[in-house]
Amino acid sequence: MQSSLRCGARTRDGSTCRAPATKGKERCRMHGGARRSGAPGGNRNAQKHGLFTRDAIQERKQIDSLLDEAHKLLKEMT
């Protein structure tokens, strides 16, 4: 156990992890050596939703300005 390869990950205080690395890998089971660990295939985590595209931002600004005009008109009527 003591002669086994150690995990190469860094801890919060900057020292290296002292756990043994998993068989055939350089990291322990907690730091990415576990089977099927990591991002899913195709990296669906990086898909864009379009909320911050130029068109969407411009459309929201136009809606905000229309709502402001409607509020001003309602204030004038009362």
User: Rounded to whole angstroms, what are the CA distances from 41 to 44, 69, 76?
Assistant: 7, 48, 58
Q: Sorting pLDDT into bands at 50, 70 and 90, what band is 32?
A: confident
What is the average pLDDT across 57-62?
94
Select from 47, 25, 46 the least CA-distant residue to 35. Answer: 25
Q: Name the pTM for this structure.
A: 0.41
